[in-house]
Structures are given as structure tokens and as C-alpha cells.
Amino acid sequence: MSIDSNPVAPPKERTPVPQPRMRFGKWMRELGWRHLVGIAVVIFATFPLVYVLSASLNPGGTLTGSNVLFRELSVQNYVDLFSDPRRPYGAWFANTMIVGIATSIGTVFLGALAAYAFSRMRFTGRRPGLLALIIVQMFPQLLAVVAIYLLMRGIGEVFPAIGLDSLIGLIMVYLGGALGVNTYLMYGFFNTVPASIDEAAKLDGAGHARIFFTIILRLVAPILAVIGLLSFIGTTSDFVLSSVILTSPDKLTLAVGLFRYVSEETSTNYPVFAAGAVLAAIPVMVLFLWLQKYIVSGLTAGAVK
């Protein structure tokens, strides 16, 4: 066997050809205007946040003194926020976290159970049930406030612990509306999980409960995170139901309690209100950053199939 004495030389690397620089006018027509629009949107969205932060650090006691951003810096508003015995901000913050966390966990659990049933089981009334969940959500929650108040007052006469002026009662009201759009979003995501996984688990003797808790929940973690985040934001910022059900000053949530700083005719303290709003936004921001990697996949994957 002869050996080729002239092996094929490796191909020479091509040197990149320098591209001509785009003229400013052409760049502005094709790309530049997009950057300008993006910068304008960012400024429009962040200015209220920066203004509220500046107002919370303004010791003047009025919002007009905050027109010049960060002209004076002081933490006195935050000190006043926690030192007012008539407005227990610490209790409001704790109540909001309790209601928000409990409601988001319950919403995720109940919604996942309903979505699994609609996605994996075939039963009479399955499609009308899905349609009913969407139709019910078309009516605003404000229409049911009077009925919810009367219902909670009647329950409170028998079981005071879950009636009016009770955090448990407020959580139960929120969980009463846990289905609906949340279930429909989860249903679309559950459909993206191959049914062959369930069939393989059933061949090994697993039932619906074991498949749901040990297999499916791990595969649908993105949509669970999204629903939990949306539920937490919705409950912590809710004002209507909280103001109707909760009445005691030490049982209010942040949305209702902070309103008292600006609702009185003779005493309005907007900088302290701004300080409370800044602190109230921290848990939502932290939760959003923690679940950020799940948000995009959780919102889009369910619409693929």
C-alpha cells in the first residue's frame, strides 16, 4: 500500500472582509428609531418609581418638595412609618405576606389539580366545564362584593374565625376564585407534557396521585411559578375585597392600610405613604427576580400545542 507523499493541505482560513460602516442616516432609519423608542419607554416606566422613591426620602412632608429629585435625603419617613401606633405598618406587612403566600400556594395547588383532571381525564362535561371557567372570569369581581359580604357575615355568626374581619376568611374568599384563567393556563401547559409518560408510569403500577405529585408537578414547574407569582401580586395589591372583609386596624393589609395615610381630609402624609409603598414593592420584586427564569417559558409553552 502506497502512502501519498502529497497530502491535501488544510484549507486556508478566510480573512473576514471588513463591512462598510453604515451611515448615520441609514442607521437611524433602520435601527436608531427603535433604540429611541425603547429609551423613551424605559424613562416613561421608571420615572414614577424614581419619583416615589424620591418622595419617600423627602423630609419636607409634601409631594411638591419632591419635584426636584433627591434634593434632600432623610429616612425620617421610614421611621415615622413604623412608629405610628394608630397605623401599625408592621402588622399590615405581616398580614399581607400571610395572605399572599397562603393564597398563592393554595391557588397553585387547586389550579394544578383541576388542570390535571381536565388534561388527563375524559369525563362528561369536560369541555363545558372549561368554557364555564372562562365565562365566569368575564364578570368583574366587583359585582360579587355585596354577596361576598353577606355570605361572610352569615358565616361569621356561626364560625367567627372564618367570617368577617378574619385573615382566614379573606384567604378562603381568594381561594374561591382560584380556578378560572389560572386553570386554563395550566391546562394548556399540561397538554404539552407527553401522555406517554403517564402511560409508562401506569404500567409500573402508579396511580393518578403518584403520577401527579412525583412526575407531572416537576415537569410543569414553570407554569406553577408563573401562577404563584400572579396570584401573589394580585392578592397583595387587592383593595376592594380586603377593605370589605377586614375592619380592625391591626388586621388590615398594606393596600387598605396605606390608603388611610391619604384618605383623611385634615391629615394627609404622602411621603410616609410613599415610604410604605416602596417597602411594599420589595417582596414582589424579590419574588419576580427569583422566578424570572420560569416566567417566559411558563407563559409561552402552554400556547405552543
Phi then psi for 170, rounded to 5 degrees? Answer: -65, -40
d(CA 209, CA 236): 32
Helix residue ranges, H only, 121-220: 126-137, 145-158, 167-176, 181-190, 195-203, 208-211, 217-219
Question: 49 phi and psi, to 5 degrees?
Answer: -65, -45
SS3 97: helix
The domain segmentation of the chain, as residue ranges, is 26-74, 85-303
Q: Are 190 and 66 in contact (CB under 8 A)?
A: no
- Quick one: how far is CA 50 from the chain centroid? 21
Q: Which three cell numbers stand for residue 169?
A: 376568611
SS (H, E, C) 10-21: CCCCCCCCCCCC
Establish how many alpha carbons lie within 13 A of residue 285's alpha carbon, considering only the half-sphere containing its beta carbon: 7
Radius of gyration for the alpha carbons in the chain, expressed in angstroms and rounded: 28
Nearby residues of 220 by Cβ (< 8 Å), 6 or more positions away: 112, 186, 189, 190, 193
Grid coordinates representing 41?
419607554
Residue 249, phi-psi category: left (phi > 0), alpha (psi -120 to 50), beta (remainder): alpha
Nearest CA-CA partner of 130 in 185, 175, 173: 185
Confidence (pTM): 0.80
CA dist., res. 231 & res. 117, Å (int): 21
The pLDDT profile of the chain, 305 residues, written as one tens digit per residue, is 455 555 555 566 666 666 667 677 777 777 778 888 999 999 998 988 888 888 888 876 566 655 567 777 888 888 888 888 888 999 999 999 999 999 999 999 998 998 888 888 888 888 888 888 888 778 777 788 888 899 999 988 888 888 888 999 999 999 887 777 788 888 888 888 888 888 888 888 888 888 888 888 888 888 898 899 989 998 998 898 899 999 888 899 999 988 888 877 565 678 888 889 999 999 998 988 888 777 766 555 544 44
| Topology of the domain comprising 85-303 | MetI-like fold (1.10.3720)
Cα separation of the two ends of the chain: 59
